[in-house]
Amino acid sequence: MQSVRPISTSLFHHTSTHAPLLSYRAAAARLAVQPSNHRRTFLTNPFSGPQTLTAHRTLPYPRQIIYSIISDVDSYSTFLPYCRSSVVTKHSNSATADGKSYPEEAQLVIGFNDDVSETFTSRVYCVPESVVEAVSGQTNTSLGAGEIEHHNVRPAAEQDPSRNATVLSHLLTRWRLHSYPYKPPPASATHPETTHKNHDETSPVPSQEKTEVNLDIEFQFANPVYAALSSAAAPKVAEKMIEAFEKRVKAVVEARSSVK
C-alpha cells in the first residue's frame, strides 16, 4: 500500500529573486479563505459501506447432496480454506417438513495460524434444500419470517454472542440453490450442416438434475486499516469458498458411488 504524504504549501514564495512579494491586501485575502483548523487525513477508509462479493456455479449434482454439505457447518474446518475450527453450538428446536433439525448458531475460527486468527459466532438460518444464511455483528437476516419459522427468535443483543464486536462490524454469507432437470440436445443439434430437429427427436441420454449455486458475501470491517489491507485479497474470497465446496461435493459424490 502506498504511503500518503501531506503536501505542504507556503503562503509567501518567490519564483525568482526578482519576483515581487505579495501585497498585504492580497495576502489577507488568501488568509481569509484558509481553514482555521487544519486536519490531515493520512488514511481514509476505502470501504464506506458494506461490500458484496459473489460467485456462481452450475454443478451436475442433485440439490439435496449439495445442500447437505453446505448446511453441515461442523465439517467446514475439514475442507474450507483458513477455517481452523467450526462448531455448531445450537440447533433449531422445531423440525422441518423433512424431519430434520438444522444449525442455528456456530462458532468459527478463521486464520492463518494460532497467532493470526479471529474467533466469531454466527447466527445461522436454514431453508431446507434452498438457502443457508449466516449473519454476524450488527446484521440481520434477509429471510422472511415464514421461511425460518422453525428457527428460534434471535436473542436480545446482550444475550447473543453473534452480535459481539469483532474485526468485522457486518458479515452476511448467503448460499442459494436452485435445481433444474437437464437433458442433452439430440445428436442433430451438434452438427451445423444438419437441421436442428429438437421438436422431432430427443437425445437417448436420460435427463439429469443440475443445481445452480449462488454465493453472496456482504462484509464491512470495523477498522479502516483492515479494510485497506484486505482490498486486494477480498475479491478472491467468494471464489475460493465456492471452489472448496465444489471439490467437497465432488469428493462426497464419488465416495458414495464407490461404495455401491
How many Cα atoms within 13 Å fall on the side-chain side of residue 232? 2
140, pLDDT greater than 90: yes
CATH 3.30.530.20 describes domain 51-81+126-142+161-183+205-259: yes
pLDDT at 247: 95
**b/e string for 109-120 if b means 16 or more Cβ within 10 A?**
bbeeeeeeeeeb
pLDDT confidence bin for 18, thresholds 50/70/90: very low
Q: Is the dihedral of CA 55, 61, 62, 68 positive or negative?
A: negative
Section 49-54 average pLDDT? 86
pTM of full prediction above 0.95: no
Which of the pair, 20 or 118, is modelled with greater confidence?
118
Return the residue matching grid coordinates 465456492. 242
pLDDT confidence bin for 187, thresholds 50/70/90: low
10 in Cβ contact with 48 (< 8 Å): no
Return the residue matching grid coordinates 489577507. 28
Rounded Cα distance between 115 and 30, Å, is: 53
pLDDT at 44: 42
Please state, for a pLDDT cut of 70, what percent of the chain lies above it: 70
